[in-house]
Structure 1
Amino acid sequence: MSTLHVLSHSPFSDNRLSSCLRLLGSRDALLLCGDAVYALQAGTTQRQALELMPDAISLYALDEDVQARHLTPPERLNLIDYPGFVALSCQYDKVNTWL
């Protein structure tokens, strides 16, 4: 069963990102939105962890949130808009929001 994992909290305030990364399966995807996009900051251990994820795991972020924070995303990142978020949610068997 494939799962879309959605993170919206800053990766610098707690360990949700690292917990999520440990649970990702080969058919899963990770979507960063809100303050979770700060994990994309160059030179951080969070960004390094995202870059070390297996290629089979898709990485997404809401374009609006990345642009609002003036971040330069890694090449493997797929930027999506809100309609893309809805489509992505329908593509996976489950959606797990890390509250």
Structure 2
Amino acid sequence: MATLHMLSHSPFSDSRFASCLRLLGPQDALLLTGDAAYALQPETVQLQALQLMPAGIELYVLEEDLHARNLAAPKRAQVVDYPAFVELCARYAKVNSWL
């Protein structure tokens, strides 16, 4: 069963980011929102980990949060707006928000 995992906390503050990456299945997707977008900062271990995810795992980042943090999306990440965010939630069988 494919799951959309949503992270919103900074990947530098606790272990949620690493725990989420360990639990991603081959059909799953990861959506970065809020401070989780900081994982896309160039030359960080977090970005390296995201780029090493299997190709079947989709990576998304919310456009508004990317721009608010003055970050650019790497090729690996697909930038989505709010309507696309809603569509993603409907596309996956489960949505897991890492609170």
Question: Which bracket does the TM-score occupy, shorter chain normalised?
Answer: over 0.9
> Runs of at least 4 residues of structure 1 off by over 4 A?
none
Shift of 1:76: 1.4
* Corresponding residue SS for 1:59: strand
Equivalences for 1:63-82 in 2 at 5 Å? 63-82=63-82
- Structure 1: tracts of 5 or more residues without a match: none
RMSD of aligned Cα (Å):
0.5
Q: How many residues align?
A: 99
TM-score computed with the length of structure 2 as normaliser: 0.98
Percent identity between matched residues is 64
One-letter identity of the residue aligned with 1:40: L
Equivalences for 1:44-59 in 2 at 5 Å? 44-59=44-59
One-letter identity of the residue aligned with 1:55: A
Shift of 1:65: 0.4
> Which 10-residue stretch deviates more, 55-64 or 68-77?
68-77
Match of 2:91 in 1: 91
* Corresponding residue SS for 1:10: coil
